[in-house]
Chains A and B, each alone.
Chain A
Amino acid sequence: MADDAEQATMTVDDRAADALNEGFEPKIIVFACHYCAYAAADLAGSMRLQYPTNIRMIKLPCTGKLEVIHLLKAFEAGADGVYAAGCLEGECHYLEGNLWARKRIGHVKTLLEELGMDPQRVEMFNMSSAMGPRFAQTAREFTERIRRLGPNPVRPRDGFEPVEVVRARMGDAALPDGAPAGADDTPAGS
């Protein structure tokens, strides 16, 4: 990263590029529902679709089982991003488990904000078991989002800067466009 004197002469675009964390390989935890996203991951595999190796899947009987503490513990342990992948809304095997997950993830977003972490590090996605391509696309887009946000501030890595640290130093203008890659996904809790 540039030192203070260099930063004073940098343009916003330079700073944005500086903050991009090119080459950073995030670790991402995915809580996947047995009835949909986990099966979609299987389908993505059968279809030979490429998606990043950054994600680590944890299978749940339903995303309704996902508790606030599970998400926080992932961040506490150093995960750079966490998302839950549940059934399409209205199609939960247990009727409304995915709606509960959406609410809890919305709550975790507010907790992350309290802690000075970017709430975009956690997200809820919905997909059916037939959506192998969507599973792969979500994994790619979320990995890209987290790559831009940089490492989790609780586990910084040499040469890469958490977006939270860049923001504290240079303000929002210094950041790359923070819009989530999957712009069609309504963020949880909104």
Chain B
Amino acid sequence: MITAERKPFDQIYAMTEGHDKVLVAGCDTCVAICLTGGEKEAEILASEISIKAKEEGRELAVEHTAAIRQCEWEYLDMIADKVGEFPLVLSMACGIGIQSLAEKFAPKLVMPAVNTNMLGMPQEHAVWLERCAACGDCVIGLTAGICPVVRCSKSLMNGPCGGSHAGLCEVVGPNGEEIECAWALIWERLKAQGREELMFQYRPPKDWSKSSSGGPRKMVREEAKPV
């Protein structure tokens, strides 16, 4: 699932400067599940903006809406009338949804109210962990189902490095939290699977052209295209 975090309120409020009408557009798929940008959160942000504007004695009409998915044309059709009423839309979807909305209703001003941060999974309620880098060349069949690209701090293909100690990485998270060494996890699970020999095989440098380094990617399924 794609996860995102709301931008600081002051940044969002600054985006409304010079406008007297603003629509907060949520997306009820990934960002709703990570409790950041669904209809519920869009209503909360709209209410916050409205309170701030009233405090300043400013005339600002704020409404909210949500698309089932902002990243698909069909679902954007369903909120087109609402979007049409507003010169400024603050989108709470992921970067894909924001761009889809901006493209669908161009040249309307569409601004991001969230920072899209990762492809993650909920480890427990309200906690998400990054699990995939969308690198375009999956190796987890060789690494016991644990992705070294995103879970090793250095994205090593031939780990672990010297910074691995007692199962932990020498790198710590931004809040001082410990990070498990992906290669230690890989080694333990390969042993449990009886596939230790995979650890001793040399892996050549990864082909990053299949990742975002190769420019924007495009996928076409000819067999599925309408005739």
CB atoms of A76 and B54 under 8 A apart: yes
Give min CB distance, B51 to chain A, whole Å. Answer: 5
Residue of A nearest to B47 (CB): A72
Q: Is B197 an interface residue (CB 8 A)?
A: no
How many residues on chain B are close to A (CB under 8 Å)?
A: 13
Which chain A residues border B40 with CB–CB below 8 Å? 67, 69
Give the size range of A's interface with the partner.
Answer: 10 to 19
Of the candidates A76, A116, A117, the one whose C-beta lies within 8 Å of that of B47 is A76
A114 to B48, CA, bound (A): 9
A67 to B38, CA, bound (A): 14
A128 to B40, CA, bound (A): 31
Which chain A residues border B47 with CB–CB below 8 Å? 69, 72-73, 76
Which chain B residues border A73 with CB–CB below 8 Å? 47
Which chain B residues border A164 with CB–CB below 8 Å? 55
Interface of A is mostly: helix
A154 to B54, CA, bound (A): 5
Residue of B nearest to A116 (CB): B55
Residues of A whose CB lies within 8 Å of any CB of B are: 67-69, 72-73, 75-76, 111, 114-117, 153-155, 164
Residues of B whose CB lies within 8 Å of any CB of A are: 8-10, 40, 43-44, 47-48, 50-52, 54-55
List, sorted by A's number, 26 A–B pairs whose CB atoms are closer than 8 Å. A67-B40, A69-B40, A69-B47, A72-B44, A72-B47, A72-B51, A73-B47, A75-B51, A76-B47, A76-B51, A76-B54, A111-B9, A111-B44, A114-B8, A114-B48, A115-B9, A115-B51, A115-B52, A115-B55, A116-B52, A117-B55, A153-B54, A154-B54, A154-B55, A155-B54, A164-B55
11 additional A-B residue pairs with CB within 8 Å, beyond A67-B40, A114-B48, A115-B9:
A68-B44, A69-B40, A72-B44, A72-B47, A72-B51, A111-B48, A115-B48, A116-B55, A117-B55, A153-B55, A154-B55
